[in-house]
Structure 1
Amino acid sequence: MASTTVVLPFALPPAELAPELSRNLQAPSLAMLLSRNSLLEKHVIADDSRILPHEAWLARARGGLAAAVMRGFGLAPKEGYWFIVHPVHIQLARNHLVLADSRRLRLDEADSRVLFDLARPFFDELLWGDAETWFMRADGWQGLDAASPDAAMGSNLADWMPAGPNALAFKKLQNEIQMLWHEHSVNEARQQRGLAPVNSFWMWGGAQAEAPMAEHQPMAVATPAAAAVPSWLKALSAGSTAAAPGAHGPVVLPHLIPMGAGNDWGAWLGAMQQLEHEWFSPLLAALRNGSTNELTMILTSREGWTEIRTSKAALRKFWRAQNLKNLTQ
């Protein structure tokens, strides 16, 4: 059966904003897809989860994020426990530290290479993916519960530091790298250009190198021009065809991540309107003309996700009102 799964991070706004945003969103195709369904399941993540729901869904689908992202970069170590590593900027906000939005870091390859080469001797193994994504091996850190940067961003960093038996070892390593990079010429030059210094690193997404892929279909990731898609996410689409509404298999639409992570719901509304024209209307047309037999939508928020499945037969449920009420967690 020709089927499509569309993953939409941050498609579900906060409950207190959802009614007003839904009233202002002109998306009849999305309303049809959400209302005329054959399956609707709501999932809530655990209160102590340190990654976002769409990241958790992707980790399950790919058999562990670090391993899958490494494969996307053409790296295939046969053993070890690996984490995704990002060079980041940590800033002081009043009386606590905050992890800044890495999408605004604007770290080029030349500067990143210098920082990478400086840091590499302090790790058991440190592998290069690209300027914003590296990988570290830490075989004894399997029990470390590490938060994703988007989950931790903007909050008191003390609440999001890695937790577990090796937390102190991580903190020691992080302090060493912070001292190594502090006032380095790369950062001095960045500040002269009006850019934030790269003063720390963040790690998350731990997985065994040999972790098998749970999802055998290639996963496409759309790359909207208006939104900066993190390279770790783009790497998950390695080997897949270009993301398009008529394609079969899973596809991730990351258009809403910057707005949802940054709580910019005015911009979110505009991005959803664009998705209505570029994705939701073509997806509805594909169901109606039979080129897609079944569509599953994974809509996420910070608290969980909703799985909605529909088909050409389900679209005939005319007694169901066409609305956007399912845009709530």
Structure 2
Amino acid sequence: MSDPTHLLIAFAAGGTPAAKEALRAMRLPRLERLLQRLQPLPPEPVDELAPEAPHERALARALGLDSGAGRTPWAALALQRAGGAPGPHAWAWITPCHWRVGMDQVLMQDPAALELHDEHARELFAALQAWFADDGIELNLETPQRWLARGELFRDLVSASLDRVSGRDVAAWMPESPQARILHRLQSEMQMLLYTHPVNDARAAQGLPAVNSFWVSGAGALPPTVPEISAPALDLSLRESALRQDWAAWAQAWQQLDATRGAALLAAQERGEPVRLTLCGERAWQTFESAPRRLFQRVSGFFGTKPASMRLEQL
């Protein structure tokens, strides 16, 4: 279950000059009021090449599953929360994707842009399943866009999240470990198989990008005891426009978020309920929380004039 009194906003800031320009032009009145009334905790920096984005690191910490960047067992956790039984096994997500090969880099297109529907996904799944099985990986077709995999090689695998690698050169995010060599070989074999697969001929005829690779994320096994902690309410409404670097659309989404979930959190704070707000950019995340009134008066007096845009730029 998610905790409605703790809002965690992903992609709240961007690192490019265009993103900062869009941020400075925005008006976010509810966010401004919340930041004036809540106590800031120290920012938590995240290396730009870390395999998980700041919002994923913040969520892992909040859930008591912070075992290191790229080692959060998201797939196993999702299986458990859906009513499944991950047991002691190691799990991961396999995402069909499109890699755009250039002269000096290989960019991963956002997998959502594949528009991979059920028929094509099932044909590709049938073709790839046996190859994965040869390497001890059991595949399950969870959704057309995301397949669930079980295999011992995922147990200690450091895997980069899709939110980290989408739209970027995959070279910086490829896993490096003994078991990763198996995945690299499997990726090479699947790229050759997919190059001539009839599904990609059909997709080309429809003007859709080819499915020419896959990505592994969320790898790992759950600890024997998972803490009974309510997750923060994760908001991903800024994700799509941020990954496209469409900062005009991102600014519009931010203003909509401010007017809806921002307004709801502010109303809860004004009713005297303890609330928390975690803002996550590309390089850091920071939490703001309710404070006792006397402390609140000191904090608001010291921090109250700092615009929200300046806080967000630091993320």
Instruction: Tell me the TM-score range normalised by the shorter chain.
Output: 0.7 to 0.9
Distance 1:211-1:91 versus aligned 2 partners, 3 A rule:
farther
Aligned equivalents of 1:258, 1:214: Cα separation in 2: 31
Taking the aligned partners of 1:25 and 1:315, their CA distance within structure 2 comes to: 26
**Which aligned pairs between 1:16-31 and structure 2 lie closer than 5 A?**
16=17, 20-31=21-32
Structure having the higher helix fraction is 2
Matched, 1:136 2:149: yes
Give TM-score, length-normalised by structure 1.
0.81
Asked if 1:194 corresponds to 2:207, the answer is: yes
Change (3 A) 1:73 1:188: farther
How does 1:86-97 map onto structure 2 within 5 Å? 86-97=95-106
1:283 aligned residue? 265
Judge which range, 297-306 or 312-321, deviates more: 312-321
Cα distance in 1, alignment partners of residues 312 and 50 from structure 2: 22
Give the letter for the 2:74 counterpart.
L
Deviations 1:175-231 (A, max 9, x none): 2222222221111111111101111110011121566433532x4xxxxxxxxxxxx
DSSP 3-state at the match of 1:294: coil
Is 1:101 aligned to residue 110 of structure 2?
yes
In structure 2, do the counterparts of structure 1 residues 210 and 153 end up closer, same or farther at CA, with 3 Å as the change threshold? same
Q: Does residue 114 in structure 1 map to residue 138 in structure 2?
A: no
Residues 48 and 159 of structure 1: CA distance in aligned 2, closer, same or farther (over 3 Å): closer
State the match for 1:327 in structure 2: 312
1:182 corresponds to which residue? 195
Report deviation, 1:268: 1.3
Where structure 2 has 5 or more consecutive residues not aligned to the other structure, the ranges are 66-72
1:10-43: CA deviations, max 9, x gaps?
Answer: 1123275676434321211110111222233200
Tell me the equivalent position of 1:57. 58
* Residue deviations 1:239-278 (CA, integer Å, cap 9, x gap): xxxxxxxxxxx21111111122232222111111111211
Counterparts of 1:307 and 1:275 in 2: how far apart (Å)? 17
Percent identity between matched residues is 29
- Distance change in 2, residues 1:132/1:265 (3 Å): same
Report the residue type matching 1:89 in the other structure: H
Task: Look up the SS of the partner of 1:95 in the other structure.
Answer: coil
Secondary structure at the aligned position of 1:326 is classed as helix
- In the comparison of the two structures, how many residue pairs are matched? 295
Contact 1:34–1:326 (8 Å) recurs in 2: no
Q: Using the alignment, how far apart are the partners of 2:263 and 2:292 within structure 1?
A: 14
Q: 1:108 to 1:312 in 2, by over 3 A?
A: farther
1:271 has 2:253 as partner = yes
Residue 128 of structure 1, CA deviation: 2.2
Question: More displaced, 58-67 or 92-101?
Answer: 58-67
- Change in Cα spacing, 1:32 to 1:211, as seen in structure 2 (3 Å) is farther
| C-alpha distance 299-130 of structure 1, shift in aligned 2 (>3 A) | same
Do the aligned residues in 2 keep the contact of 1:287 with 1:312 (CA within 8 Å)? no
Residue 76 of structure 2 aligns with which residue? Answer: 67
The 1:3/1:190 distance shift into structure 2, 3 A limit, reads closer
SS of match in other structure, 1:201: strand
Contact 1:32 1:322 in 2 (8 A): no
Judging changes above 3 Å, is the alpha-carbon distance between structure 1 residues 57 and 156 closer, same or farther for their aligned structure 2 residues? same
Secondary structure class of the residue paired with 2:178: coil
> What is the CA–CA distance in structure 2 between the aligned matches of 1:4 and 1:69, rounded to whole Å?
22
Query: SS where residue 239 of structure 2 aligns?
Result: helix
Structure 1 unaligned regions, length at least 5: 220-249
Please give the root-mean-square deviation of Cα atoms over the aligned residues, in Å. Answer: 2.5
Distance 1:193 1:13 in 2: 34
Q: 1:164 aligns with which of 174, 177, 202?
A: 177
TM superposition shift of 1:127: 1.8
Contact 1:146 1:163 in 2 (8 A): no
Work out the CA distance in 2 between the residues paired with 1:149 and 1:215: 26
SS at match of 2:47: coil
Relative to the length of structure 2, the TM-score reads 0.84
CA distance in 2, matches of 1:27, 1:254: 17
CA shift for structure 1 position 108: 0.7
Q: Which residue of 1 aligns with 2:69?
A: none
Deviation, 1:91, is 1.4
- The equivalent residue for 1:252 is 234
SS at match of 2:268: helix
- Other structure's SS at 2:7 match: strand
Match 2:289 to one of 305, 309, 321: 309
Structure 2: how far apart are the matches of 1:29 and 1:315?
17
From the superposition, tell whether residues 16 and 42 of structure 1 become closer, same or farther in structure 2 (CA, over 3 Å): farther
